[in-house]
Amino acid sequence: MLLNQFLLLSAVLFSIGVYGVLARRNGVLVLMSIELILNAVNINLVAFGAFRATVGGEVFALFIIAVAAAEVGVGLAMVLLMYRNRRSIDLTAIDQLRG
Amino acid sequence: MTALAALEGMDRLTSGEALVAQNVAFAIMAITMVVAALRMVTTRNVVHAALYLVVVLAGVAGQFLLLGAEFVGVTQVMVYIGAIVVLFLFGIMLTKGSFGEDDGVSSEKRLMAGLVGLLVFGVMAAALVDSFEDAEVAREAPSTTAEVSDSIFSTYIVPFEAVSVLLLAALIGAIVVARKD
Amino acid sequence: MSALLTLAASASTAAHGAGDLALGITEGGNWFLRNVWLIPLLPALSFVAILFFGKRMPRGGSEIGIAAVGIAFVLALLTGAAWIDHRDNFHGEEVHAAVVVDEAHGAHGDDHGDDHGEGHGHASLAVHQTVTWFQTNGVEFTVGTLVDGPAVMMLLVVTLVSLLVHVYSTDYVAGDRRYTHFFAFLSLFSASMLLLVVSENTLQLLCAWELVGVCSFALIGHWWEEKPNSDAALKAFLTNRVGDMGLLVGVTILFFAAGAALPGTFGSFSIAETNALANSGALSHTALLVASCCLMAAVMSKSGQFFLHTWLPDAMAGPTPVSALIHAATMVVAGVFMIARMYGVFFEGFQIGGSSINLMAFIGGLTTIVGACLAFVQRDIKKVLAYSTISQLGYMVMALGVGAWTAAMFHLFTHAFFKACLFLGSGSVSHAVHSFDMKSDMGGLRKDMPHTYRTFMIGTIALAGLPPLAGFWSKDEILVGTGGWGLMGGTDANGAYTLMLGMGMLTAALTAAYMTRCVYLTFFGEFRGHGHPHESGPRITVPLWILAFLAVFAGFLNMPKGFQLAPKGLQERFGHFVEPVAGYFPAIHHARPSWSLAIVSTIVVLCGVGAAAWYYFVKVEAASKAAGTSLTELPNGPTTRWPLARMGHTLLANRYYLDHLYNGVVADGTKGPVARLANRINQDVIDRTVDLTGETAVKAGTIVYEKIDQLVVDGAVNASGRGSSGAGEELRKINSGKVQSYAAILFAAATVLAGVLIVIV
């Protein structure tokens, strides 16, 4: 197996994740897309770990899984807060940053 | 677990056959994942998007098995598909009513996101092809859970502790952010 | 750590060969000395127990806390007895560390230990116990206990004061709605401080240090419903964070500095090893100096040294028992104790021996004057005591800075008793009059509250430093230790710190004067408040009397050597048992006491008392009689008559404008410009760029339309003009305030930059 096939798969998933983050209006869907990005990174880590024949890559993939769990927890809490305050989780409706 | 079985049954195959089998498994999973991922970011139904996410995550777990990372693969299934997706479904359920369907994304926005996505992919692909032209992943045997755990609790003990603190902070943060008061 | 240490056959026969450094510690010793970890564990367990079961207990969990701290106190007493035996009679094996032999530095373990007086030998070995906490990359991280004189002394002081505060609190916060919570945190506070004093390595010390900070945050903000209280808690916490950065950096520097001198490892957190290496000259002076300065920053914030002291008076927002605990035994003395613990590092880093000024001594000296001056202008009785604490902490730091280690520790010891007594006394007063304001709500309380009055007077005299009370002995030792006094003895100190002697003398007079003022305003004159104050109950007065007793007699524990009126067996007992003698402790000199200095300092104190007494007890009293009410100052006092005095008063009343400096200049100064800069970048740069692109495109389109249209094909140009105009419109939308648009720009920009990097590299 070529290393590059995994890395390119990861790149594709990463880019799709980026698209999702940028294009979706629903807050929950944006979070899902972030999960996609994190998973793409995980594939990278494990592939490089296998390539270099160390377990370091796997260990960091595990850490990222833990970090992702934390991220989803906080992210969904924020989405819920937003829903409670504005009855909507439409990200396009949030434009208080307008200059 | 078919990929795992394929990996274990590999000594009965010749090396060439094994390689073909692995590559076929990879191709099937990769195509499924990419299609599911694309559907996930384009579908209008939020619940469907979560189900497509499950497919992608399962595919990632399969890739881990293919790479000989059994423990990470199993963890991926348990944590992501078992816990995180369920969390997402709860999130969707609790915010129901605002979005039954995620519709009305303007075409300019999709265009913009698509362009950025393509740009990201282009740069990454160029860099990867340039750097790892013909590098082979040559894994003799799957890594054991014992190796992984030894590594976590010796070399990587400090990041491990940091992650534990992070989880605690996230726990408290989530409660503080989401509580009613 | 044991991997690094080699046990020599016996301390007496161990040759101090090159590459072998005696640490002055032992793994053996009495059971109590080896199992001292039980003492911090007990209050820690009580914290958990109170948290889970406190609400269901008949007395709201306070009985668990009192029992735990009480047992810890008994254990500390037994440990103290064991140490007294161990100090002179233990002849076990000493631990040695292998060190990298570097001829340039001459790392030998034998150039100290001779100055430590006669007959000490190697009898006084600190008892050292460790277990491995975790290990990574070949470095073992240990937790453990290092029991020696200062640790045992602190164990006794902390457990005793904590026990008395616990008992006092059962009355003081009775009926409070977070009664259980309060006792839980009192327990954790004591546990953290006890952990800090027995810490074996700097990492453990750092953890305990932070725990102390967290507990103080929780306790200062105990009544957080009121904004000033939670503000004070935040201020205390954040100010301490500033210094904690210093501690973190200092500990890291020492870790690697020690690692360079030890073979087979790249770092060591061990306090004994680090100090021993610093003493032996194996560590570079630059590293030690930088580390000392960093650690000094931590001390400045934790121990309220001048210019990071501003949190301490605000911390009076907490309940009074907490203030007593913070100021007497825990928290603020943690900084002083840390210097004492890492004294090898500081002694070498600041070159304390043979110098006449250094950063530590100067900051200490400055703090002691600054704090004493501020204490004059306070209306709030607790704030007077708070500034007094700052001043006295400055005394201790100054003493450590001039090399008078034993005097500093002794002052910490005596100060703990009389300051706790004063604080608990002020709490008793405020309990009776429901206020802390001396000018509007107190006065004449000596008749109504005889016990509080008497104990407060004892604490005041001890603090002022009049013989023969505790404060006199410790203050006098510090003044002698500065080495600035050449008359009739008073020599043989580490250097000639004449400036510090002057600062100490001035503070002695100021202390006596402001305490006289405080006592007059509180207990003399006529009562100015409302209602009828009553003496507090026995749970408040008994701790007061115990502390007052100690404030009277603690000073006799360390009567100076050669003091003709004391039997020889009673001279310098405290120094003998508390001061470490070898290995990890630097070779400090001990100043010879001086009769003349003691007499002069007493006269100075009496002058301070006299001046304040003349003003308040004579002039103000007379003016009050004339006016028919109870005045708190002269109607035409010096601040109204002399502009210079008024200016001084204004400066002090505004606390040297330090808070204004921090809030107005530093905080707003950074907050404002950063926010403005961000806004500016957002408005002018990003916005302008986007708009400009749009406008340029439109303009280009227009130019193209107007000029070329006439000449070339109409339709094509029309399209191009519209296209660029449209592009401009599209670009305008980027600055829409929509997060996802910003994210898109971020991703695109990062990717382009990554692409550029790929192309270049």
B135-139: long-range pairs with CB below 8 Å, 24+? B135/A2, B135/A3, B135/A4, B135/A51, B136/A1, B136/A2, B136/A3, B137/A1, B137/A2, B137/A3, B137/A6, B137/A47, B137/A50, B137/A51, B137/B67, B138/A53, B139/A50, B139/A53, B139/B67, B139/B68
**What integer best gives the mean pLDDT of chain C?**
77
User: Cα separations (Å) of C226 from A91, C229, C321, C378?
Assistant: 37, 6, 19, 22
The alpha carbon dihedral of C354, C104, C108, C23 has a sign of: positive
Does B5 score more than 60 pLDDT?
no
Q: For residues C296 and C360, what is the distance between their CA atoms, to the nearest angstrom?
A: 7
Give the residue extent of every domain in chain B: 2-105, 144-181
- The backbone torsions φ and ψ at residue C5, rounded to the nearest 5 degrees and listed phi first, read -100, 140
Cα Rg of chain B (Å, integer): 20
Among candidate residues C198, C201, C168, the one with its CA nearest the CA of residue C75: C198
Asked if residues C352 and C346 have their Cβ atoms less than 8 Å apart, the reply is yes
- Judged by a CB distance cut-off of 8 A, whether residue B9 touches chain A is no
Least confident piece of the model among A46-60, C480-494, C736-750: C480-494
Does residue A83 form part of some domain? yes
What does the pLDDT average to over B113-124?
90
Least confident piece of the model among A76-80, C17-21, C337-341, C409-413: C17-21
Q: Provide CB contacts within 8 A for C635, sequence distance 6+.
A: C623, C627
Q: Indicate the residue of A11, A27, A39 with minimum beta-carbon distance to B56.
A: A39
The predicted pLDDT at position C682 comes to 64
Instruction: Give residue ranges of A with CB < 8 Å to any C CB.
Output: 18, 21-23, 91-92, 94-99
Q: Indicate the residue of B41, B99, B128 with minimum beta-carbon distance to A20.
A: B41
| Residue B95 tokens, joined | 């915010």
The predicted pLDDT at position C36 comes to 86
The predicted pLDDT at position C493 comes to 61
The count of structural domains within chain C is 3
Residues C229 and C332 placed together within one structural domain of the fold: yes
Residues C746 and C633 placed together within one structural domain of the fold: no
- Judged by a CB distance cut-off of 8 A, whether residue B172 touches chain C is no
Residues C449 and C497 placed together within one structural domain of the fold: yes
Identify the bridge partners of residue C21 per DSSP, sorted by sequence position. Answer: C97
Instruction: Write out pLDDT tens, residues C73-85.
Output: 999 999 888 888 8
Contacts of A91 in chain C (CB under 8 A): 738-740
Least confident piece of the model among B102-106, C169-173, C430-434: B102-106
Domain that holds residue A15: 3-93
Q: Indicate the residue of B113, B120, B156 with minimum beta-carbon distance to C751.
A: B120
Asked if residues C271 and C199 have their Cβ atoms less than 8 Å apart, the reply is yes
DSSP 3-state assignment of B76?
Answer: helix
**Chain C CA closest to residue A18:** C747
Confidence of residue A62 (pLDDT cuts 50, 70, 90): very high
Least confident piece of the model among C382-391, C524-533, C712-721: C712-721
Instruction: Write out pLDDT tens, residues C304-363.
Output: 888 788 888 888 877 888 888 888 777 888 889 999 888 888 888 887 777 777 888 888
- Judged by a CB distance cut-off of 8 A, whether residue B162 touches chain C is no
- Residue C48: what residue type? V
Q: For residues C144 and C95, what is the distance between their CA atoms, to the nearest angstrom?
A: 15
46-65 of B, contacting A, C-beta below 8 A: 46, 49-50, 53, 56-57, 60, 63-64
Identify the bridge partners of residue C141 per DSSP, sorted by sequence position. Answer: C134
**Shortest distance, CA C138 to any CA of chain B (angstroms):** 9
The count of structural domains within chain A is 1
Does residue C286 form part of some domain? yes
Domain that holds residue C670: 658-760
Instruction: Write a three-state SS string for C323-380.
Output: HHHHHHCCCHHHHHHHHHHCHHHHHHHCCCCCCCCCHHHHHHHHHHHHHHHHHCCCCE
Does B43 score more than 80 pLDDT?
yes
Residues C555 and C681 placed together within one structural domain of the fold: no
110-139 of C, contacting B, C-beta below 8 A: 134-137
Buried b (16+ CB within 10 A) or exposed e, C484-515: bbeeebbeebbbbbebbbebbbbbbbbbbbbb
DSSP, residue by residue, C15-56: ---TTEEE-SEES---HHHHTTTHHHHHHHHHHHHHHHHGGG
Among candidate residues C523, C406, C374, the one with its CA nearest the CA of residue C460: C523
Does C274 score more than 70 pLDDT?
yes
Does C170 score more than 60 pLDDT?
yes
Q: For residues C40 and C68, what is the distance between their CA atoms, to the nearest angstrom?
A: 10
Does residue C80 form part of some domain? yes
**Shortest distance, CA C142 to any CA of chain B (angstroms):** 14
Does A11 score more than 90 pLDDT?
yes
Does residue A99 form part of some domain? no
The domain that holds A81 is classified in CATH as 1.10.287.3510
Among candidate residues C478, C370, C382, the one with its CA nearest the CA of residue C430: C382
The predicted pLDDT at position C553 comes to 83
Contacts of C742 in chain A (CB under 8 A): 97
**Chain A CA closest to residue C746:** A22
Instruction: Write out pLDDT tens, residues C476-529.
Output: 888 887 776 655 444 556 666 777 888 888 888 888 888 888 888 888 777 777
Residues C671 and C542 placed together within one structural domain of the fold: no
Specify whether domain B2-105 bears CATH 1.20.120.1200. Answer: yes
Does C745 score more than 70 pLDDT?
yes
The predicted pLDDT at position C520 comes to 82
Contacts of C744 in chain B (CB under 8 A): 112-113, 116
The predicted pLDDT at position B55 comes to 92
The predicted pLDDT at position B164 comes to 92
Does C4 score more than 60 pLDDT?
no
Does C91 score more than 60 pLDDT?
yes
- Mutation target among C738, C751, C761 for the B interface, most CBs of B within 10 A: C751
The ipTM of this complex is 0.90
